[in-house]
Amino acid sequence: MEYKAPLETYSGSVKEVVIGKGDRSVKIGGENILPLHYFEGKAANRPKIALEIDDNCAAGWSEWVLEPYKDVVADPVKWAKKCLDLGADLICLRLESTDPQGANIPADVAAALVKKVVAEVSAALVVYGCGDDKKDAEVLAAVAAACSGENLLIGPAVKENYEPLAKAVAEHGHCIIAQTPIDINLEKELNVKLLKQLPPERIVIDPLSSALGYGMEYSFTIMERTKQVGVIHGDFAMQMPMIADLGGECWKTNQARAGREQGILWEGITAMSLLLAGANLLVLRHPDNCRMIKEAIDGKL
Amino acid sequence: MILIGENIHIISKVVSEAVRNRDAAAIQALAKAQAEAGADYLDLNMGPARKDPEELGAWLVQTVQEVTDIAISLDTMNPAAMEAGLKLCRKRPLLNSASGKADSKAGMMPLAPKYNTQIVISVITDRGCPPDVDSRVESIMDTVAYANGLGIKNEDIWVDPIILPVSADQKQVREALEFMKILPDLLPGVKSVVGLSNVSNGTPAPLRGILNRTYMLMLERNGLYSAIADVLDPELIELNKGGIPDIRELVGHVMEGKTVNTDDLDERSRSYVKTARVLLGETLYSHAWLES
């Protein structure tokens, strides 16, 4: 008799989130399986990879990851196009220069830049603010309004600013990134609050991604549990896809900055680990990792 | 269930100030309020009582006994303060608490036979709080055997399984429930007690009551004998008297795994059902657990 391996089936499934509109749109989530368990059930969408660009000329980037982009970093439009040529599924634009501790450019200037990128680059776009909750609320609301109807993925929405941000995102037809500090209970709380303003198909969870050697295990555990709670236990408030924003975290470590090959590996191993933990969307910096992780997802590594 | 009033606790700002200033009236007001609310015992928590332990233990017991004749649960880890207070208790007191720690066995536990008290013995040992049912069993069997050796009868022992906050460790909340169920078979004749409000430590203040009350019903269903609790919560008192039977029944249904359709319930009943599910570990805790 032929042996048939027993298969687990689960009651819950991850919501499918669409980022971007028309033929530039990208879908993430939608699976009713644990990470990469393609043999168990439906994986509506394979994990996607965004390459990261910023509006600050890649200030502070390690030379090893700057290398492939060095002639385009002053121009986010060119930089984004280069990332697409290098195989990115989406572009992640980080509005570094809005940081009050840095260049502190005003919200309308940042919003105009995002609008320009949307107009000139044919890609689904993730937009991260600088991480200052007050400034982000202002900047990201302006971005939402300036790009009304473009269905960007915008964040981070945090405990301190989610209300106005979710309002702007809902009003202008975008998706939101719900970010909490590596804590499953706080993560659920923010999701529950956001679900009062937005449907789950417009929310992506960012549990915060730490780099290898800097607490990656914690991120791994939280992502793994999020997926288990959503898929195995069917918890409605935990069924959104997850974004692993890890490139910047990896490339700021001394280990990654020590050399090209080690840097790429540092980012690659972190990415692969968080993929196994359940990330649906990875934000990376080095194009070699974009290629390698895609091969791994397709089972070619 | 026997209720031990928790509100004279050194962590409370009012109490710590009253203790520092030896302000008898402030302590007595809290004692009277809890007595009127229906407490069976009053817990007098002095904490570590580092400064003038004997004088403090004696003062606190005397101060409270001036306004009420309710039995006292004397709560400190300082044996000197404990002994000074126990000497003065008019009714048979509860020594709160001893544990399996070496210094507790040596310094605290012998006070129980010496002053003929009842005694709280927790599952804690020198290795900390046991993480699951099996290790709780192991530690309490050892510690109670030691107490028996000192001449303390099971009937005078109130076992404390140690309640941890649901916001910090949801699994432990369920472990304590399970432990309660098997305790009578392990140690026939022992009583049990929990620090009930600890389950809601770390939860925003307005939401603590529903966690405390639901967990009380659940623990009671599994055989809990007594709780150190917020007796100034009228709904908790009402539930403990057997009031609001439909709530009690609903919580029971959740514990038995029966299907409960929350759509048909009023707001309050729905909150109890959601809370019971969180305390059983069926749904992941968040501070917004009542909102989803």
Residues 6+ apart with CB under 8 A from A127: A92, A93, A94, A95, A114, A140, A143, A152, A153, A154, A155
Q: Do B291 and A184 touch (CB under 8 A)?
A: no
CATH number at residue B29: 3.20.20.20
Place of tokens 């749904």: B283
Domain carrying residue A193:
24-296
Q: Answer whether A276 touches B (CB < 8 Å).
A: no
Task: For chain A, list residues with pLDDT below 50.
Answer: none
Mutate to test the interface with B, among A183, A191, A192, A226 (most CBs of B within 10 A): A192
CB-based contact A114:A143 (threshold 8 Å): yes
What is the domain count for chain A?
Answer: 1
What is the domain count for chain B?
Answer: 1
Q: What is the mean pLDDT of residues B4-28?
A: 96
CA distance B30 to B33: 5
Structure letter (DSSP) for residue B1: -
Q: Do A192 and B291 touch (CB under 8 A)?
A: yes
Question: The tokens of B64 are what?
Answer: 């409270």
Tell me, yes or no, whether B207 lies in a domain: yes
> How many inter-chain contacts (A to B, CB under 8 Å) are there?
35
CATH number at residue A136: 3.20.20.20
Tell me, yes or no, whether B163 lies in a domain: yes
Mean pLDDT score of chain B: 96
pLDDT in tens, A73-124: 999 999 999 999 999 999 999 999 999 999 999 999 999 999 999 999 999 9
Q: Do B292 and A236 touch (CB under 8 A)?
A: yes
How buried is B68 (Cβ within 10 angstroms: 0-12 exposed, 13-18 middle, 19+ buried)? middle
Residue B245: left (phi > 0), alpha (psi -120 to 50), or beta?
Answer: alpha
Q: What's the confidence (pLDDT) of residue A6?
A: 85
Tell me, yes or no, whether A80 lies in a domain: yes
Tell me, yes or no, whether A147 lies in a domain: yes
CB nearest to A235's CB, from B284, B288, B291:
B284
CA distance A46 to A38: 10
Query: Which amino acid does the sequence have at A121?
Result: V
CB nearest to A192's CB, from B167, B282, B292:
B292
Question: The tokens of B102 are what?
Answer: 């070496």
Q: What's the confidence (pLDDT) of residue A300?
A: 61
CB-based contact B228:B193 (threshold 8 Å): yes
How buried is B290 (Cβ within 10 angstroms: 0-12 exposed, 13-18 middle, 19+ buried)? middle
CA distance B111 to B226: 22
Tell me, yes or no, whether B252 lies in a domain: no
- Percentage of chain B lying above the pLDDT 90 cut: 98
Q: What is the mean pLDDT of residues B125-142?
A: 95
CB-based contact B245:B239 (threshold 8 Å): no
CA distance A64 to A253: 12
Tell me, yes or no, whether B277 lies in a domain: no
Tell me, yes or no, whether A280 lies in a domain: yes
Question: The tokens of B42 are what?
Answer: 């009053």
Q: Answer whether A205 touches B (CB < 8 Å).
A: no
Q: What's the confidence (pLDDT) of residue A301?
A: 54
Closest among A107, A219, A239 to A165, alpha carbons compared: A107
Q: What is the mean pLDDT of residues B78-92?
A: 97
Closest chain A residue to B290, measured at CA? A192
Considering only CB atoms, which chain A residues are within 8 Å of B288?
Answer: 188-189, 192-193
Tell me, yes or no, whether A15 lies in a domain: no
Q: What's the confidence (pLDDT) of residue A2?
A: 87
Domain carrying residue B160:
2-243
Supply the DSSP string of B60-98, one letter for each residue. HHHHHHTT---EEEEEES-HHHHHHHHTT-SS--EEEEE
Q: Do A184 and B283 touch (CB under 8 A)?
A: no
End-to-end CA, chain A: 32
